[in-house]
Every structure is written in structure tokens, then in C-alpha cells.
A and B are shown apart, each in its own frame.
Chain A
Amino acid sequence: MSLIYDSLRAFAAGGAACCVLYAATAYSVEARITIDNFSFKRDTITVPVGTTVVWENDDDIPHNVVATDGEFRSSALDTEDKFSFTFNKAGTFDYFCSLHSFMKGQVVVAP
């Protein structure tokens, strides 16, 4: 409760809010996957726990990102749309594009 109150005060203070956001992102790890020519590039990546993976569609056709085990599912990504998911546990996560199911990828999350 007091945290929310503090945050509101920070927003009211203007510039202070930027510092809060900056602090939140500065310590997260980000990995990017491009969707290009009906394929995920790279199609297999290994990242540490806590990594946020960002997929961006660079094709002229919509694609999506769907975990085989149902863990995550993006909406349809039109050209230049992005989807991100943060992997908070170790393991191997297979995913595919449910519009073009021959498009497959894998995120290996190392402990």
C-alpha cells in the first residue's frame, strides 16, 4: 500500500518516475528473435533464467508465437509487431507459429 502511495508520489514528482522505470529495466536481460522469411531467427537460443525474449515480425505476413505446451501464446503479429515473454524458470521451451505450423523454434533457459 505504501509502495503504491510512494509510486504515485514519484509520478507526481515528474522526473522521479523515469528513474523508477529505468531501474526496473536496467537489470533485466533481453534477447531478440526476428521472424523473417517464414522462419524464427535464430530458431534455437539459450538464455539465462529471467530473460525476456522479444519476437519481432519482419515479414509481410502475420505470424504468431505459440508454446507447444501452452505456456505462452502471442496474438497475431502483423508486420513489425512484437511479442515478449519472460522466462522465469529453467527448461527447454518449444514453440511454433500456429498460422504456419512448419515454423518452429526453441528457447533453452539455463539455470
Chain B
Amino acid sequence: MAKDDYDHIDRRGALECMIWAGTGVLWTMVGGVPRSSSLLGISEAKAQAASGFTFLQISDSHIGFKQAANPNALGTLEEAIAKVGALPQKPAFMIHTGDITHLSKAEEFDNADQVIGKAKLETFYVPGEHDIIDENLGKAYLERYAKRTQAKGTGWYSFDKNGVHFVGLVNVANLKAGGLGALGAEQLAWLADDLKGKSASTPIVLFAHIPFWTVSAEWGWGTEDSAQALGLVKRFGSVTVLNGHIHQIMQKVEGTVTFHTARSTAFPQPAPGSAPSPGPMKVPEDKLRSVLGIATVAVKQGTQPLAITDSDLTKV
């Protein structure tokens, strides 16, 4: 969130900021123009959600992770999925923005599939770097998830739902030494072709594992050729980019493009520059669920407002 948004902070603004800091962020795009400065009240956002369709984002479940930051990543994924089941409005489908597993092991994918399947929602995946470290560097992931979506290359694809065009992209494969995440020329050429012929009024949602803007170059939290992908969506009135990887909520608005990262369901990572490395952050046991979570994205038909609500895993 840009600091400028709070230049003229008043009591209401301060309260909204606290809502953001405490439980999640609520905001809207009206007529394809994102308005990050106009945070909605929770009830207002719920009303918006009720009149359109919603989809859900989960990320970074890291099944197989057993270290001190969360010895039971499968358990917290189960809690996240239970939270999905309890939502007042059933989401149309779910996206998972990668790091399904911790080590790309078959049993980790199996356990993740079994728990995520309990949500009984069609689920669209993109891989994180942890999902393609099997012996054959991503074959296990592709065999499991690529067929249904007819994914190309290392796993990219697109689909349309309720007039919104969704594109799942892969920015974790074939990375070069010293670089950030990368999409690569083949994927960018495919994206250009995929968007061809789409009307500029079609809302676009791009989702990939690593953030599309450079959150921290030092920690590799960015995508080196994302500017080329963003160039391809420039003519669209409403573009939303959903990512994971950094295990914390971050958002940024740039012209008609809004960027948002979701929390992990497994463990938190430090804010950039606040720790010597981006390694898993150990928080007190009773605080863990307040830093894990899911995101609900609401799309209202007609005026195409889009609102993202992050919910943590604490029990209400």
C-alpha cells in the first residue's frame, strides 16, 4: 500500500488502517479504476460481494514443512479450508498461487489435494519454486495439474469465468543465477497471443507465484521480465495481479493495474529489510493464526468493481 494513501489521515482513516493491519484489507475498483484510498467498511464490502461472484485465493501451503515456524502445515491448511467452507457466499472457484508442497514429494501433493478437495471447489494452480524440485524438475507438478487446464510449457494457461479473463503464469522455472523470478520469452509470446482479440473492457486477472513488482530485489522478491507482461495488459481497463511467495499481504496500485499478494496458510515471512534473510518467521504459538490466511476476491458484474478481502485464520 502506497504511503501516500495516508497523507491526510483522520480518525476514520486511522480506524480503517487498523482494520487493514489487524484482519485484512478491503478495497474496490469502480468502473475499472482502482481506488486504493477509499477503503470500504467490512459490511459495505460484504454487500458488494453478495451482488456479484467471488473467487478465492489460497497460497503457499508448503505441505511437508515441519520446522519450528509451524510444525503442522497440513493442519493450518485444513483450518484454512474449513474457513472457506464457512464463507457466507460460496466462491465460484479457487486459485492456488503456488508452493502447494515444500519439497515436491508425491505424498505432499497427495495430502494437499486431499485437504484442498474438501472445499469442493474447482481449483486452478500455478507452481511455486517448491513445486518443481522433484527429480525431473517439475514433471510431477505438470502430470498432476497441467492436463485439466491444457497448460503449456512449464504450466501456464488461461480461462474465462463470468466475463473475466484469468491467466495463470509461471515465473519460478529456469531461473538464472543472480536474477529474480522470470517468465521467459516463450511464455510472453504465448501471453501476447492469448490476449489478442480480447476487448479492452474485459477484466483481466493475472496470477503467478512470485510478485510481479519488485518488493525486494535483495531477497529475489520480484519478476525480472514482468514489465513485458504488464505492457501486454496495458490497454485493458481493469487488471488485477495476484501473487503469493512472500507470505504476507502487500499491495500496490499502478495506473489500471492492482497488485496483491496473499498470506501463506503455513508460516509467515519477515517484511523486507526487517530480518537478515527471508526465512520462515517464528511467532508465538498463539499468534500464528493471525499471520496466516486466505483471500476472497469479489467481482461485481456491470461496473466491474473488484474487491479483495484477506481473512486470517483466527477463530471469530
Contact = CB atoms under 8 A, between A and B. Distances in A.
A59 B275 CA distance: 14
A102 B218 contact: yes
Contacts of B219: 38, 102
B133 to A, nearest CB: 4
B299 to A, nearest CB: 33
A101 B177 CA distance: 5
B280 A94 contact: no
Nearest to A61: B279
Nearest to B221: A102
Interface string A64-106: 1010100000011011000000000000001110111110100
A102 B67 contact: no
A79 B220 contact: no
B106 to A, nearest CB: 14
B174 to A, nearest CB: 8
Contacts of B178: 96, 101-102, 104
Given A62-B133, A79-B67, A38 B279 contact: yes
A101 B135 contact: no
B2 interface: no
A110 B104 CA distance: 37
Given A62-B102, A64-B133, A76-B103, A98 B280 contact: no
B177 A68 contact: yes
Contact of A94 (B177, B180, B276, B279): B177
Contacts of B220: 100-102
B175 interface: yes
Contact of B279 (A60, A68, A78, A98): A60
A101 B176 contact: yes
Nearest to A76: B133
Interface residues of A, number: 23
A46 interface: no
B103 A78 contact: yes
B130 interface: yes
B277 interface: yes
In the complex, which of the residues B177, B179, B279 has the most CB atoms of chain A within 10 Å of its own CB atom?
Answer: B177
Nearest to B64: A78
B30 interface: no
Contacts of B133: 62, 64, 75-76, 99
B230 interface: no
B126 to A, nearest CB: 16
Contacts of A39: 277
B129 interface: yes
Given A62-B130, A76-B103, A102-B217, 16 more contacts: A59-B279, A60-B67, A60-B280, A62-B133, A66-B177, A68-B177, A75-B135, A78-B102, A78-B103, A79-B67, A100-B129, A101-B175, A102-B179, A102-B219, A102-B220, A104-B177
18 contacts: A37-B279, A38-B278, A38-B279, A60-B67, A60-B68, A60-B279, A61-B280, A62-B102, A62-B130, A68-B177, A75-B133, A75-B135, A100-B129, A100-B220, A102-B179, A102-B180, A102-B218, A102-B219
Interface of A: 37-39, 59-62, 64, 66, 68, 75-76, 78-79, 94-96, 98-102, 104
4 closest A-B pairs by beta carbon, nearest first, are: A96-B177, A76-B133, A37-B277, A60-B67
